[in-house]
Amino acid sequence: MKLFDIENSKITISSAFARQRFYCSMEYCSGVCHGGCCRGPSAVLLTNDDIVNLKSFDSSLSITGKVLKVTGKMCPLAFHNGLCMLHDNGLKPFVCETMPFCLNSSNKLILDNGFMKRACRVRAGVEGGLPAYKSFKRALTLIFGEENVELLTKHFDNGGGDITLPVSDKVMESLLWHREVVNSIKKFGYSDTIEKLSKE
């Protein structure tokens, strides 16, 4: 798939989505949901850097094109408790590491619609959990960098609205590529899109 042209390297993060609350944590993942977000899909989407990293980690992984094939119900990179074996070594695929954030058609960072339906999201009227900008700080750090994440955290803590921050060209390119894949899935279906990616 051809990447979108990168017109700028700034992204606006939606305050409404950033304040959605989640129970998601290492303890919740290993003790309650057991890696629910790593179950179900038949493939993990991979950037070029991801492909190099995963092949160096385990050459036996079933990687075809820009796809890591998933056989059965659980990602091959997940432990039995659902935690990712790449969580702390910097090799986690970009789409997994930035989950649940994604770009909409206006280049605004929002939360993936599927993730909004998961049990770990705290529903209205229920207490507990942390806002997404704290629950998924690792993802935002990969996207914006530590300094900007501290800035946006203070901004949201103080009741601020949407905020626009710079990102690297590589991050923008990867986010735009992921958005193109999602749009292709909506238009052509999951199976056809994954098959096309596996031939790239």
pLDDT at 26: 82
pLDDT in tens, 62-109: 999 999 988 877 899 988 888 899 988 889 999 999 999 999 998 899
> For residue 127, what are the contacts with CB-CB under 8 A and spacing of at least 6?
none
pLDDT in tens, 102-136: 999 988 999 998 889 888 999 988 999 999 999 99
- 102: containing domain: 10-197
The domain total for the chain is 1
C-alpha dist (Å) from residue 58 to 39, 62, 146: 20, 10, 29
- When the pLDDT of each residue in the chain is averaged and rounded to a whole number, the result is 90
> Does 5 map to a domain?
no
User: What is the DSSP-derived secondary structure letter of residue 130?
Assistant: E
Tell me which residue has tokens 């935690």: 83
> Does 2 map to a domain?
no
β-pairing, 67-69 with 21-22? Answer: unpaired
pLDDT at 125: 87
> Does 29 map to a domain?
yes
> Does 57 map to a domain?
yes
> Does 134 map to a domain?
yes
> Does 3 map to a domain?
no
Percent of the chain with pLDDT over 70: 95
Residue 69 tokens read as: 């094939």
